[in-house]
Chain A
C-alpha cells in the first residue's frame, strides 16, 4: 500500500487521543466526602458487564474514527485488484482521419472502415469498460463526449457519435495523438488502458523527423499512472493501388486584381503514384460554373506539369477559382485545388511629389504614373487598377492616409517629423510605403529621422552617394547593373523572368550606398546589384511593409524607369505593399480570417467550415473600424463567411498540405528509427508496457467508513447518555408537598393555608379503613 500524502501519517498518534482522554478523565478524580455510602456501595457492585462493553465499544469507535480520518487524508492506494473483482480497461481509439483515409477500399472508404472497426472493437469489450475516440487530424481532438461505458446504450451512443465524423484534407499528427491519449486522465476505477490506433500507416503522418518528440513520448509512456498497451490496426489492406495524380498547388499571379485586368492562374499537377499517369482533363470552375478546360500530358512517375489559365473578372468581388482533375486514382480529394482572387475596381495610391514645380518629364512621379497607366493626371486606359493621387510633402501631415493602400515617394528629399509619424502609423496599421532615394535626399536628416537607429521607417542608414566605379578602379571595366535573380521573394518572382524582362540590362550609374552594419533581422533584400550590394531593402513594421530603394524613379542615375521591367516592378511591388491592408483570402491552416467592415455598426456573421459546421462570429472593434476575426481555420478546405448584408458570402480557402498526397506507407527502416528513438522495447506496435504499478484509491472507502463510525458513535453515545442520565431523581420533599399546587413557597401562601397534609399515620389509617 502506498500513500499520496504520506505527511498526514504524522497525525496518526492522534488516534490515541480518545484513550488518553479516557484515562485522563479517570485519573482526574474528584474526592467527595459522601454520606450515603451504603447505597453507593451497593450500586457500584451492580455495574454490569454490558455497560462496560458499551463503554469500550464507544472508545473503539472514537479511536477508529480518528484513524480513518488520518488515513483518508493520507490518501492510501491499494495495489492490484484489491477493491474490484474484475479488472476494467479504458480503451482509447485513435482514428486517423487524414486525407489519405478518404481512399476508397471497396464500398467504403478507409475512414469508414476504421469507424466500423472501432464500433466492432467496442462491442467486444466487456461491460464496464470505458471507450473514448480521438481524431488525429489536423490536431488531436476528442470525438466523443467524455468516456462512454460499454453497455447497450453506451455503444449506441458511440456509434451515433462516430457516424457524424468526417476525414479532413489535412495530415494526421499521430505522435501528438499518442501523446494526448497517453496523457489523458484515466477515469476512476480503471486499471488498464488500451490505446488502439487505426490508420493507413502513411509515413508522412508519423512525424519521423521529430526525434526529440519520440523520446519524450517514451518517457511519458513510462510515467503513465495506468498500465498502457498500444495496438496499431492498419486499415489500408483492401485499398487498390491505382496511382495518384494530384494538384500540388494552385497559384494566382495576383490575389487582388482590377476589373477586366487579366491575371494568370497556375495549377501544378504532379504524379505521386508509383506508375506513369495518363493524360486527363482539367476543369477550371468559379463557383459551380465551368469556365475553362485543359488537358494534362502523360506524366511519368514523380513528374510535374504546370497548367496556366489566364482570366479576368468583369465585376468586382471575391471569387474562389478551382481546378479539378478528372483522374481515376486512389485519392480523389487532392485532384482539386482552389485559390481565392479578389477583383477590385481600383487601388488608391498616394504619390508624394517633391518637384511639382518642374515640367512633367522632370517630375519625380512622371515615370511612376506612366508605369501605372496615368498620363497628365488621367488614366490612359479606363480599366487601370491603380489610381495615384499626387500631393506635395508639405501636405502629407494633413492627409488622411487610411484611404490609400500604399504611399510612394519617388525621390525622397526631407519630411517633417509630423509627416514621418503619420507615415509610421500608416505602415503600422497595414499600409505600404515605397521610398526611392534621389539627388536631393538629405543624408543626415534621413539617418536621423527615418533610420533613427533602427527604430524608424528605414531598415538601413545611408552612407552616401556612390558613382559607378568610384571605389574600385578594377571595376571600371564592368558597369554596375541590377541582378534580377532573386526569385525567392514574392515581390520579385515576376521580375526574375530574365527571358521576358530586361531588368538585368539596367545600368546603374549613381546610387546611394547603405551602411552594411545597419542591417537588422527584419531587413530583407528585394534587389541587388551585380556587385552584391543591395539596391532595394525591405522592413516589416507592424502589419505593413516598407521598401527603400537606393535610386530615384527618374532618369539620371539609372535607366530603370525606361526599362520594360519597371512597369512590372511598379505593379508587383505596389501589389505586394498593398497586400497587408487587403483581406487575405488564401490561408495556411491556423492562420486567422480577418475581414474589415466598412460599416461601424456591430454585426454578426456565420462562418461555414469545410465540414459544414457553422460558427457564429461577432464583429470586434479595431481602431475606428470593425472586423470579423477567427482562428478556427485548422481544417484545410473552403470556408465561406456569410456577413449577411453583402449578399453572397465571402470565400476563404485554407490550403492543404501537398505532402499528404504522397502515399507512402511506413517502411521497415522507419520502424527501426522509431525503435531507436523509443528505447529498447522497440516497436511501439508491439509494445505492451505493463511496468507501471497500478493501484486503486482507498480513501473514498475510508471516508465512507468514517461516516459510519461517526454515526455509530453518535448512536452509542446517545444510548449510553440516556442510560446514565435518563433516570428521574427522587422527590426532594415529601410527595404530598411536591404534588401540592401551592408547593412553591409556603411563606407566600401563608394567608391561605394549603390543603396538603403531611402524610401521617392517621391518614394511613383512614385510607386502610
Chain B
C-alpha cells in the first residue's frame, strides 16, 4: 500500500533549471553594458602596467602627476631638479611624478557543481558568467588588460590578461566553456592559478564560496599578499537564502553523486538559515578583513544593479593621489 505513496513526483515547484552550459551566447549583455558602460573599474591598489592608463603605477616618472620631492643624488637628471625649492632652501631636490598605468584584471569563475544550482532563476554559474563577461568588457573598454580563470577541479582554464580588444573573444570563450561539475577545494584551485598572475592587478572571484572557508581564506590571503586587489562576488540563489520549501523533499547534492537527504525542509529551516547566515557573515568578515571587497548578489536580482552598485562604490572610494 505504501507503494501508492512512492509515486514519482513530476516537476519541482520551481522554474525549470536550465541545462548546464546552456547560456546565452551573448554573454556581454548589451543592456547591462549600457547601464554600467559609463562607469570605470578602478583599482584601489597600485598596479603594474606598461601602458599609461587610469590606475596608479608603482613606477615614478615625470610626466604626469607630482608625487614627492627627493634629495638630489649623483646620477639624477638635472632636468628633474626643482629649482624653485632650491631657490628657497638652497638645497637640491628632485621632483618625482607618479606615472599612470593600465590594470591587469583577472575574473575568476567558480565552476564547481554547486554553481549549477538554479530553480526559480538562472543558475548561479550563468549569472556569474554574465557578470564576469561584463566586467571583462568594461576593463577592456578602459584600456586595461583582462584575463579569465575558470576554477574547476579537473578542467581548470586560464586566459592570461591582454589589453587588445580582440582578447575579449578569448575571455568570453573561456567563460562560455565553463561547465559546473564536481566538487573540490576552491582555495586550492585559486592557489594553483595565482602564480600565473605575474603582475599585480585586480582579482575578481565569482563564486558561491561553498566549501572550506579556511582554505578559501588562505588562498585569498596569498592572492592579496601578491599585491592583487581582491573582489569576491558572492553569488547565491534566492532559494539558498530563503529556504522556503514546504513539502517533504529529497535534496540531491550537485557536487557529490548519490548524496541525498530526505527531510521536511520546514523542520530544518531555522537551523539551515542560522548556519548559512553564519557562513555568509564569516565570509564577508574574511574578505573585508583581507582588505578586499565583498559583494553578495542573488540570481533573482538584476545584474545591472549588482554591478552598478559595486562599480559606483569603487568610484566613490577612488584613492586620492599622493599628498
Q: Does B88 contact A (CB under 8 A)?
A: no
Residues of chain A in range 19-42 having any CB-CB distance to chain B below 8 Å: 23-42
CA distance A763 to B114 in the complex (A): 31
Q: Are B291 and A760 in contact (CB under 8 A)?
A: yes
Residues of chain A in range 738-767 having any CB-CB distance to chain B below 8 Å: 745-747, 750, 753-765
Q: Are B243 and A729 in contact (CB under 8 A)?
A: yes
Q: Does B256 contact A (CB under 8 A)?
A: yes
User: Nearest CB to that of B180 among chain A residues?
Assistant: A35
Q: Are B288 and A35 in contact (CB under 8 A)?
A: no
Q: Are A732 and B308 in contact (CB under 8 A)?
A: no
- Taking A44-B261, A747-B305, A761-B291 as contacts, is the C-beta distance between A37 and B256 under 8 angstroms? yes
In the bound complex, residues from chain A placing their C-beta under 8 Å from that of B243 are 729
> Which of B61-69, B76-84, B271-279 participates in binding chain A?
B271-279
In the bound complex, residues from chain B placing their C-beta under 8 Å from that of A25 are 247-248
- Taking A29-B250, A35-B113, A732-B298 as contacts, is the C-beta distance between A746 and B316 under 8 angstroms? no
Give the Cβ gap from B6 to chain A, nearest Cβ, in Å: 5
Q: Does B208 contact A (CB under 8 A)?
A: yes
Q: Quick one: which of A24, A46, A731, A764 contacts B288, CB cutoff 8 A?
A: A764
- Taking A38-B210, A733-B297 as contacts, is the C-beta distance between A746 and B308 under 8 angstroms? yes
In the bound complex, residues from chain B placing their C-beta under 8 Å from that of A42 are 271, 275
User: Nearest CB to that of B115 among chain A residues?
Assistant: A35
Q: Does B218 contact A (CB under 8 A)?
A: no
Q: Does B116 contact A (CB under 8 A)?
A: yes
CA distance A726 to B271 in the complex (A): 12
Interface mask (B244-269 → A, CB under 8 Å = 1, otherwise 0) = 11011111111110010111101111
In the bound complex, residues from chain B placing their C-beta under 8 Å from that of A750 are 35, 308
Q: Are B269 and A730 in contact (CB under 8 A)?
A: no
User: Nearest CB to that of A730 among chain B residues?
Assistant: B277
In the bound complex, residues from chain A placing their C-beta under 8 Å from that of B290 are 761
In the bound complex, residues from chain B placing their C-beta under 8 Å from that of A40 are 251, 261, 263, 268, 272
In the bound complex, residues from chain B placing their C-beta under 8 Å from that of A23 are 2, 5
In the bound complex, residues from chain B placing their C-beta under 8 Å from that of A726 are 270
Query: Number of B residues whose C-beta is below 8 Å from A?
Result: 87
Give the Cβ gap from B135 to chain A, nearest Cβ, in Å: 14
- Pair count A-B, CB < 8 A: 216
In the bound complex, residues from chain B placing their C-beta under 8 Å from that of A34 are 117, 251-254
Q: Does A566 contact B (CB under 8 A)?
A: no
> Which of B7-15, B49-57, B95-103, B166-174 participates in binding chain A?
B7-15
Q: Are B269 and A724 in contact (CB under 8 A)?
A: yes
In the bound complex, residues from chain B placing their C-beta under 8 Å from that of A723 are 270
User: Nearest CB to that of A737 among chain B residues?
Assistant: B309
Q: Are B269 and A727 in contact (CB under 8 A)?
A: yes
Residues of chain B in range 278-323 having any CB-CB distance to chain A below 8 Å: 279-280, 284, 287-298, 300-302, 304-306, 308-310, 312-317
Q: Are B301 and A757 in contact (CB under 8 A)?
A: no
Interface mask (B40-61 → A, CB under 8 Å = 1, otherwise 0) = 0000100000000000000000
CA distance A514 to B5 in the complex (A): 96
Q: Quick one: which of A26, A30, A35, A753 contacts B312, CB cutoff 8 A?
A: A753
- Taking A46-B271, A758-B293 as contacts, is the C-beta distance between A39 and B276 under 8 angstroms? yes
In the bound complex, residues from chain A placing their C-beta under 8 Å from that of B280 are 730
In the bound complex, residues from chain A placing their C-beta under 8 Å from that of B18 are none
In the bound complex, residues from chain A placing their C-beta under 8 Å from that of B256 are 37
Q: Quick one: which of A31, A727, A745 contacts B302, CB cutoff 8 A?
A: A745
User: Nearest CB to that of B249 among chain A residues?
Assistant: A30
Q: Quick one: which of A28, A745, A756 contacts B247, CB cutoff 8 A?
A: A28
Q: Does B71 contact A (CB under 8 A)?
A: no
User: Nearest CB to that of B284 among chain A residues?
Assistant: A759
Give the Cβ gap from A723 to chain B, nearest Cβ, in Å: 7
In the bound complex, residues from chain B placing their C-beta under 8 Å from that of A758 are 293-295, 309-310, 313-314
Q: Are B250 and A30 in contact (CB under 8 A)?
A: yes
CA distance A355 to B242 in the complex (A): 121
Interface mask (B17-53 → A, CB under 8 Å = 1, otherwise 0) = 1000000000000000001000000001000000000
List residues of B whose CB falls within 8 A of some A CB.
Answer: 2, 4-7, 9, 12-13, 17, 35, 44, 113-117, 119, 124, 208, 210-211, 236-238, 240-245, 247-256, 259, 261-264, 266-277, 279-280, 284, 287-298, 300-302, 304-306, 308-310, 312-317
30 sampled A-B residue pairs with Cβ under 8 A = A27-B6, A30-B249, A31-B252, A33-B117, A35-B113, A37-B254, A40-B263, A43-B268, A46-B268, A47-B271, A55-B267, A725-B266, A727-B274, A730-B277, A732-B241, A733-B297, A733-B306, A734-B284, A734-B295, A746-B304, A746-B305, A758-B294, A758-B310, A760-B291, A760-B313, A760-B317, A761-B288, A761-B290, A761-B291, A761-B292
